[in-house]
């Protein structure tokens, strides 16, 4: 990639996740939230407070902790369902049950859409069968609507132009789709090298996609139904899982990673990474309660 991404990559803290995922920057508190899906933890990092990190225990297979329209009340996506987490009180309030048999699937990707609704995916916990789906839950609903099935490992949720972009990791494919009659209608599919995992988006339409197992971030220019890989950022972790922009100017790139499945993990595998860039992301969206 061009010189807008620094070659200095900094591992943060001592925590090493089994499966780090879904980093989200909270601009109000100037903190970063992310989860360890297999470790059952929520981690929260304040770079401006002597790089303080708090760790909380979460329900089984929590794949995301997202922002809501109320400060310090976070949306939790787990195998037990969708709930609100009151951070100060360390208390959960259930919103809806997990829409599938919890013996068969677990949540994976999750993000807030431009209209304030939650989108999330399900998958086979062993990633052996294409039994996953995409769902949407709007504020006030008690049951999510199913948007698309037959997914293997559904990942990435980014909205650009008139489309939503997502991946099926083990099909090695990125998709460009639209929401039509309460279902996802795929307009374009793009084969990619490696395993596309979570992504973030710059304000000028560059999708930065973690490539699991490739030790890199792929930088891809999005257009109106077009997709073109333009470069890579090499990383010191083998299994980057997702990324997001944070910091006061939304130009620090935070990257989660995983140790799960590695027979000889390095000292930094599973770490949260920070990369200084001259790119700019967008503020994280909030679930409309």
Give me the half-sphere count of Cα atoms (radius 13 Å) on the Cβ side of residue 261: 11
- Across the beta sheet with 73-78, the strand order is 64-66, 73-78, 81-86, 91-96
**Residue 115 annotated among the catalytic residues of the structure:** no
Q: Is residue 197 part of an annotated ligand binding site? A: yes
d(CA 124, CA 128): 7
Using CA atoms, how far apart are residues 254 and 30, in angstroms rounded to an integer? 13
Confirm or deny that 70 is annotated as ligand binding: no
Q: Give buried/exposed letters for 24-59 (b at 16+ CB in 10 A, else e).
A: bbbeebebbbbbbbbbbbbbbbebeeeeebeebebe
Strands 163-168 and 154-160: antiparallel
- Nearest Cα neighbor of 201 from 250, 152, 154 is 250
Q: Is 150 annotated as a binding residue?
A: no
Identify the residue whose tokens are 């090493």: 16
181 is in an annotated binding site: no
CB contact at 8 A, 219 and 232: yes
53 DSSP β-pair partners: 45
The pairing of beta strand 132-137 with beta strand 118-123: antiparallel
Catalytic hit among 36, 97, 115, 197: 197
Tell me: is residue 108 an annotated ligand-binding position.
yes
Distance between CA atoms of 116 and 61, rounded to whole angstroms?
23
Going by the annotation, the residues of the binding site for a divalent metal cation are 21, 155, 197
Going by the annotation, the residues of the binding site for substrate are 106, 108
Going by the annotation, the residues of the binding site are 21, 106, 108, 155, 197
Catalytic sites, residue numbers: 197
């Amino acid at each position: 990639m061009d010189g807008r991404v620094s070659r200095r990559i900094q591992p943060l803290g001592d925590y090493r996740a089994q499966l780090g995922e879904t980093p989200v920057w909270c601009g109000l508190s100037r903190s970063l939230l992310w989860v360890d899906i297999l470790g059952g933890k929520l981690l929260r990092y304040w770079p401006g407070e002597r790089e303080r990190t708090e760790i909380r225990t979460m329900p089984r297979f929590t794949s995301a902790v997202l922002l809501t329209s109320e400060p310090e009340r976070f949306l939790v996506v787990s195998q037990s369902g969708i709930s609100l987490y009151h951070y100060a009180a360390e208390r959960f309030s259930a919103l809806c049950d997990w829409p599938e048999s919890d013996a068969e699937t677990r949540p994976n990707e999750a993000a807030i859409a431009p209209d304030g609704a939650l989108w999330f995916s399900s998958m086979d916990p062993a990633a052996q069968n294409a039994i996953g789906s995409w769902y949407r839950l709007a504020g006030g609903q008690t049951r999510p609507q199913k948007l698309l099935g037959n997914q293997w490992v559904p990942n990435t949720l980014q909205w650009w132009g008139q489309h939503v972009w997502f991946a099926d990791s083990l099909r090695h494919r990125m998709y460009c789709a639209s929401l039509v009659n309460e279902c996802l209608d795929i307009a374009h599919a793009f084969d990619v090298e490696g395993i596309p995992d979570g992504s973030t988006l710059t304000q000028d339409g560059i999708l930065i996609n973690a490539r699991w197992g490739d030790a890199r971030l792929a930088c891809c220019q999005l257009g109106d139904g077009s997709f073109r890989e333009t470069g890579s950022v090499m990383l010191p972790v083998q299994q980057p899982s997702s990324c997001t922009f944070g910091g006061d100017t939304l130009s620090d790139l935070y990257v989660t990673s995983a140790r799960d499945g590695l027979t000889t993990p390095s000292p930094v595998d599973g770490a949260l990474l920070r990369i200084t860039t001259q790119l700019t992301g967008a503020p994280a969206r909030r679930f409309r309660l």
